[in-house]
Structure 1
Amino acid sequence: MTRLFFDARYIRTGFHDGISRYSAELAAAVAASAPGRGVEVTFLVFDDDQRRLLPEGASTLTIGAPTALGEPLRARELNRHRPDVVFSPMQTIGTLGRRYRQILTLHDTIYYRHRTPPRDLPWFVRLGWRLFHLSYVPQRLTLNAADVVATVSETSARQFAEVRLTRRPVVVIPNAPQRLAELLPAPAEVVAGSQNLVYMGSFMPYKNVETLVRAMAELPGRTLHLLSRISPTRRSELEALVPAGASVVFHGGVTDEEYARLLADRAVLVSASLDEGYGLPLAEALALGVPAVVTDMPIFREVAGGGALYAPGTDAAAFAAAVRELDDPQVHARVVAAGAAHIARFSWTRSADILLDTVASLA
C-alpha cells in the first residue's frame, strides 16, 4: 500500500478561491479513486474546519499553516510520519531534508508578469512573494527540489519550458469546472440567449474590464453583469467609462448559486483579459451550456476550444460584434455544442487518475 500525503491546507473554510477549489475538488476525486489503486491517502490540514470540506471519513494529519515561519522546514516534520509521496497543490511546502518523493505544483507563471500578491496574506509573505518573483532563480531552486512538477494546463507547461523553469518532469493535472448545474433550482434549465454579458473575475488592470464596459456602447438593450467584489476606487474608475444609456450592474460579489442563475439566464460569459493563468469561469460556463466571448490567446483556446468566439483583447467593437454573432440561433447552438464536447475532456476524476499514475511511478 502506497502512502500518499495530500496537502489540503490551501482549502479555504469561508469561500473558495482558485487554489482552494482546485485543492478541494482534486482531494475529493483522489479520495474516491485511491483505494482501487492501492493508495492510502492522508490529508494535511492546519485548521479543524478544513476537515468538513474533505470527503467523509478522510484520514487527516494536522500540521502548521502554509504561511507559518517554519514552513521551509516542514519536511522534517513529515519525515516522522513516513509518507511515500507528498503532493502539494502549491510549490511552497518545505522540502529540505525530505525522505519521501515530492510532487510540487506551479499553476502558471502569471505572477512573473503581474507581481502584486493577494492582499489577504501576511505582510512578510507579501514581501517574500514580490522578492521571489523578481527572478526565475528562486522558483527554479524550489521546483528542482521536487521529483515531479505538476501544473494545470498545457499552456503553462510550455511556458515553463520556454524559460527553463525546472529540470524535473512536468505533468499536467488539469483544472476542471465546478458543476454549476447542480446549483440551479430544480428543474435545472439554461435559457439560451445573449441578453446578459456575465464577467466573473478580479478587476486587476490586466483583466482589462475596460474593454467590456466600452463594448456596451454597441450593445444597446443588453446588460453587463460584473459579479466580483470590487473596491470603491476601482468601481468609480469603471463607472466613469460606462457609455451613455448602457446597462452595467456591479454585483459586488455573488454566491455560487447566484452565479449559476445569472449564467443560466440568456447569458454569454465574457472576458477581455490580456493575461490569464487558466480561466476557470470560462470552463464553468461551457460545462453549463453557456457560450463565451473571450480574448484570443492560447490558454483560452486550450480551455474553450470551439465553445467560445474570440476577439482581440483591446478591441471593444470586435467584442460587441462577437456577442451579436451569438444572436443567430444556429451560431449559438454550434458554439454551445462545441463547448460541451470540448469541456467534457476535463474532469476531476481524470485529473485524480493522472495524479495517482504519477504517484505510482514515483512509489
Structure 2
Amino acid sequence: MTSTRMLRIGLLTHSVNPRGGVVHTLELGKALVEAGHDVTIFAPAQEGERMFRPSSCRVVLAVGDEAPINTIDMVDGRIRALKRVLRSNGAGEFDILHAQDSISGNALAEMKQSGEIRGFFRTVHHLDQFPEPKLSSWQRRAWKDADRVLCVSETWTRRMQGEFGVTALMVPNGVDTQRFSPVAEGDVELLRPFGIHRSPVVLAVGGIEERKNTLLLLEAVALLRKGGTDVQLVIAGGASLLDHNKYVSGFIRRASELGLSVGAGEAVVLTGALTDAAMSAFYRRADVLAMVSLQEGFGLAVLEALASGTPAVVSKIPPFTEYLNDAVCSWADPKDPVTIAKALLDALDARDSIDFVHAVPALLDRFSWSASARRHSQLYEQWLATQSIANQ
C-alpha cells in the first residue's frame, strides 16, 4: 500500500542533541516531507537550546519550567513539557503521532490514557538497563501502551517478540550519501582546533559510554601504540541525557594509567558535540571507524563512515551481522581488546580489503531515507484504516 494523500504527522524525539534517535527523526521527517506529507517535529529542550541541525519540517521545542536536579526529575520535566506543547499545537488533530524514544512515548501514553489522542506509534531503537525502577517503568510504558511498535533492525524486532510478546514491525534506517561522502570541503580548517595531526586516526562516535564499550577500545588503542603504531584516538560526540560520569571518570583514570594523554592534539581527543560539517570532516579524516559497541539499535555511524570512504571495525554481534559482511567491514570481538586491536591493525594495513567499488555502494543503496519514509507511510495508512473501520 502506498500513501495517496497528505498525512499530518507529528514526530517526537527526546532532545535536540546529535544522537542517533534524533538524527533518525530529522532524516525521516525530511523524507516524509519530500513524499508530500505535513510533518512537525516535537522535541524537549532547555532554555536557549536549538535543534542541532536545521530541518525542512516545522520544529516545535518543548522548554521545561525549571532546571532538573537529577535524571528522574529531568525525564519527568520533559514529559510534562512535551504534553504542554502537544496540547497547544492541537495534538488530537494529527493523523499520526510517532515517538522515537521513551520520554516522548510516555507523553503520548499519558495523553492517550486521558483521551486527548487516539493512539500513537513508537520506534524502539534499543532498550536500556536502568538501576532506577521509575526509569524502567517509563521505558516499558513507552512501548507497551503504543498502538504500533516499530524497530530499525530484525534483531530488536525479534527481541521485542521473544522477550515481551510484542509484534513489532521492521522499518529500514537510511544514510544521507550527500551529507556523508568522500568529497572534502574545508575539512582542514574544521579539524584544526582538535589537533588531528597524527596518522593513523581511529574514530569512535557517540562519546564515552559503557554501551559503546569505550574503555576496551582505549585498551586496544594502548596495545597498538605499545606495538609501535602511533594511533590517535578521536572520540566524537557524546551529548547524552543519561548520566555517564562514573564511566567517563574511569576512562580518564585508565587513560592516565596507560600513559595516554587526553586533549586537543594528544593521544586521545574528546571532541564533544560537533556541527554537521565537522562530523562529516572527521569521518573523512579518520583512517578507520571503531564501532565496537556491546549493544546497538542499528549503528548508523557504520553506514556514515562507509559513505565517507572510511573502513570500519565493527563488533561481530547483532544487529551488525544482519546487514554487514566481510566485504564491507572488519569484525572484532567487543569483549576482547586484543582482537579489537588486531582488527584495527588489519583494517589499517589492508584498507583495500573493503570493497568500496561494488559491495559498499550496494549496501548504501539498500538504506535510503526515501525507502524508510515509504515504509512508514504504508504502516501509517494501515493503522489509520483500522481506526476508520473501528469508528464505523
**Contact 1:295 1:313 survives alignment (8 Å):** yes
TM-score normalized by the length of structure 1? 0.75
CA distance, structure 1, for counterparts of residue 319 and residue 371 of structure 2: 19
Please say which of residues 283-292 and 273-282 is displaced more in the overlay. 273-282
Tell me the SS of whatever aligns to 1:177. coil
Tell me the SS of whatever aligns to 2:185. coil
Code of the residue aligned with 1:224 in structure 2: it is L
Q: Any stretches of 5+ residues in structure 1 without a counterpart?
A: 117-125, 189-193
TM-score normalized by the length of structure 2? 0.70
Task: State the partner residue of 1:204.
Answer: 209
Please say which of residues 245-254 and 15-24 is displaced more in the overlay. 245-254
| Structure 1 residues 131 and 32: CA distance shift in structure 2, 3 A | same
Task: State the partner residue of 1:6.
Answer: 10
CA distance, structure 1, for counterparts of residue 213 and residue 52 of structure 2: 37
Task: State the partner residue of 1:195.
Answer: 200
In the TM superposition, residue 270 of structure 1 has moved relative to its aligned partner by: 0.6
Task: State the partner residue of 1:278.
Answer: 298
Q: Percent same amino acid among aligned pairs?
A: 20
| Structure 1 residues 74 and 358: CA distance shift in structure 2, 3 A | farther
Tell me the SS of whatever aligns to 1:27. helix
In the TM superposition, residue 317 of structure 1 has moved relative to its aligned partner by: 2.2
CA distance, structure 1, for counterparts of residue 288 and residue 182 of structure 2: 19
Code of the residue aligned with 2:338 in structure 1: it is A
**Contact 1:197 1:267 survives alignment (8 Å):** yes
| Structure 1 residues 314 and 50: CA distance shift in structure 2, 3 A | closer
| Structure 1 residues 164 and 108: CA distance shift in structure 2, 3 A | same
The RMSD of aligned alpha carbons is: 3.9
The answer to whether structure 1 residue 53 and structure 2 residue 54 are counterparts is yes
Task: State the partner residue of 1:218.
Answer: 224
Task: State the partner residue of 1:299.
Answer: 319
Count, aligned residues? 331
In the TM superposition, residue 40 of structure 1 has moved relative to its aligned partner by: 4.6
Code of the residue aligned with 1:350 in structure 2: it is A
| Structure 1 residues 165 and 204: CA distance shift in structure 2, 3 A | farther
Please say which of residues 78-87 and 341-350 is displaced more in the overlay. 78-87
CA distance, structure 1, for counterparts of residue 52 and residue 338 of structure 2: 48
Code of the residue aligned with 2:322 in structure 1: it is E
| Structure 1 residues 359 and 334: CA distance shift in structure 2, 3 A | same
**Contact 2:10 2:98 survives alignment (8 Å):** yes
The answer to whether structure 1 residue 88 and structure 2 residue 99 are counterparts is yes
In the TM superposition, residue 274 of structure 1 has moved relative to its aligned partner by: 1.9
CA distance, structure 2, for counterparts of residue 337 and residue 268 of structure 1: 19
Task: State the partner residue of 1:121.
Answer: none
Deviations 1:307-357 (A, max 9, x none): 211121122222222223234557434367533322331121111111111
| Structure 1 residues 320 and 358: CA distance shift in structure 2, 3 A | same
The answer to whether structure 1 residue 102 and structure 2 residue 125 are counterparts is no
Q: Any stretches of 5+ residues in structure 2 without a counterpart?
A: 65-76, 189-198, 239-243, 385-392
